[in-house]
Every structure is written in structure tokens, then in C-alpha cells.
Amino acid sequence: MESQKNVIFFGAPGVGKGTQSKKLSEELDIPHIDTGSLIREAITSESPLGIKAKSFVEEGKLVPDELVIDMIREKLIFQKNKGFKGFVLDGFPRTIGQATALDNLLGLLKFKITKVINVQAPEEILIGRLSSRRTCTNKSCGTIYNVITQKPAKEGLCDHCGSPLYQRKDDSVEASKQRLEEYHTKTAPLEKYYRDKKIVADIDGTKSPDEVFQDIIELLNSPAPVK
């Protein structure tokens, strides 16, 4: 593979992009940037950006895009100073506005997106996966399981920290349908934005996690341009 890989993971809830992005981060030894975790880490560390973010979180508001971009900038500059090999972005951008802000940031840092990996699966499969998800109650852990495809070693308990697992309200069947509808409505323009740049690669997310990951590695190793 090239010396640097800057990858964005794209895909509907339940398609497995979180699992795959973390595996790729470990495989390539590059940071996995999940904006949710990034915000939590900043708040916990009580950094200047974290203090700003905390005020929004405590009021039940979304952290503004500008602040999230500042956090990503801080993360990337830190990594660049260590000897930059790339990054994996998971869950960001979600809108055209976020994508253009990210492009501006990467341009300033002289980075370029290598691939946008679009993991796909039919809606009925995604609904089944989402409604089978269980999440660790320990917020500092937050590991996600699936009672069908990724069971914990002990039923109802997290493998990593031993805390009980629970089903989030937004993982019910009805909530899952609403989440998918919202995703497709909001992200359709974003998908076109990246397809116009000819950097999107579609991956079959119906396969096993190991097979999906192998497809991703083969894609990133391939010298052929993405159509």
C-alpha cells in the first residue's frame, strides 16, 4: 500500500462501518477518528476545546461543526508531528457543509482523501442488525455487540469491562426504520458530492465481517482507480 492512507467510512446505520474502520485503523496503525469519541475524550481531558464542547453537551445541544472541525484539526496536527501515516474518519462528515469544511482543513494541512469506502447492505438486513444490537452500559467503554452476528462471550455482559449490556431506544425496529430513512435523506447529497470526486468505492456489507475487511484491504492495495 501507499505510505499514507486517508480514508472516510460511509454507510447506513447497522452496516458495520464502525467495526471495519476500527479494524483498518489497527491494521494500518493509523488513528481511528470517531467524532463521538473525540468529543468525549476532549471533555474528559478538560482541554480548551473540551470545555467548550461540554457546555453544549450539558445543555443537550449538538456540538457545532466548527468545534468538531477544530478537534479534528488538533488531532491531525498531533499525528502529523508524530510522523503521519494517515487516518480513518468514522461518522464524519455527515453533511455537505461538514464535507467542505473538512476539505478546507485538509487542504491547509496538505492532506488528501485517499478513498471514501461506502459499505452497503439491503434495508431489511440493516434493520435486523440494528434491532439486535446491544451496547455496554459503561459510557467510557461503549462497546457494541450484536446478539446475532457478534455475541459477547457471556450473555448480557461486556467482554471488555464486564458491565451489563442494554438495547438503546433507537435500536428498536421502528426506530431503526426511522434512522435509515433519515440517513438516506440527509446523506444522499453527500454521497453524490464524493462520487463526483471519483473517490468512492462500494463494498458489499452483507458478507461476514472478516470477508468485508478482506475486501477493503484488497481495495486499498489495488493500484486501479476507483470508478
> Is residue 50 a part of any domain in this protein?
yes
Is 50 exceeded by the pLDDT of residue 177? yes
| Residue of 75, 94, 177, 207 marked active site | 94
Mean pLDDT on 161-178: 91
Q: Catalytic residue at 94?
A: yes
216 CB neighbour count, 10 Å cutoff? 22
> Is residue 171 a part of any domain in this protein?
no
Is 60 exceeded by the pLDDT of residue 71? yes
> Is residue 178 a part of any domain in this protein?
no
**How far apart (Å, rounded) are the C-alpha atoms in residues 199 and 185?**
21
Is 90 exceeded by the pLDDT of residue 227? no
> Is residue 21 a part of any domain in this protein?
yes
Is 70 exceeded by the pLDDT of residue 92? yes
Q: What residue has cell string 470545555?
A: 51
* Whole-Å CA distances, 145 to 65, 172, 223: 29, 15, 35
Query: How many domains is the chain built from?
Result: 1
**How far apart (Å, rounded) are the C-alpha atoms in residues 52 and 88?**
25
> Is residue 97 a part of any domain in this protein?
yes
Is 90 exceeded by the pLDDT of residue 223? no
Provide the percentage of residues in the chain whose pLDDT is more than 70. 96
Q: Catalytic residue at 129?
A: no
Strand partners, 86: 5
Given pLDDT bands bounded at 50, 70 and 90, which one contains residue 3?
low
Which of the residue ranges 31-35, 194-198, 213-217 would you say has the lowest mean pLDDT?
A: 31-35
pLDDT at 224: 52
pLDDT at 226: 45
> Is residue 84 a part of any domain in this protein?
yes
| Residue-averaged pLDDT of the chain | 90
| Residue of 112, 151, 154, 168 marked active site | 168
* Whole-Å CA distances, 192 to 57, 81, 202: 31, 33, 13
In tens, the pLDDT along 116-147 reads 999 999 999 999 988 998 999 998 888 889 88
Threshold 0.75, pTM exceeds: yes
pLDDT at 184: 87
Which of 189, 6, 12 is CA-nearest to residue 103? 6
Domain of residue 10 covers: 5-120+184-221
**How far apart (Å, rounded) are the C-alpha atoms in residues 119 and 20?**
9
Given pLDDT bands bounded at 50, 70 and 90, which one contains residue 62?
confident
Q: Catalytic residue at 40?
A: no
Q: Catalytic residue at 177?
A: no
Mean pLDDT on 185-211: 92
Which of 102, 117, 105, 84 is CA-nearest to residue 4? 84
> C-alpha dihedral over 161, 18, 64, 178, to 10 degrees?
-100
> Is residue 195 a part of any domain in this protein?
yes
| Residue of 5, 23, 133, 134 marked active site | 133
Is 60 exceeded by the pLDDT of residue 1? no
Which residue pairs, CB below 8 angstroms and at least 24 apart, start in 35-40?
A: 35/68, 35/71, 35/72, 35/90, 35/91, 35/92, 36/91, 38/68, 38/71, 38/72, 38/75, 39/63, 39/68, 39/71, 40/139
Is 80 exceeded by the pLDDT of residue 52? yes
> Is residue 125 a part of any domain in this protein?
no
**How far apart (Å, rounded) are the C-alpha atoms in residues 213 and 227?**
20
pLDDT at 140: 86
Given pLDDT bands bounded at 50, 70 and 90, which one contains residue 188?
confident
pLDDT at 186: 83
Q: Catalytic residue at 17?
A: yes
DSSP 62: P
**All three cell numbers of 94:** 455527515
For residue 93, give the CATH number of its domain. 3.40.50.300
pLDDT at 148: 82
- Cβ proximity of 160 and 136 under 8 Å: yes
29 CB neighbour count, 10 Å cutoff? 8
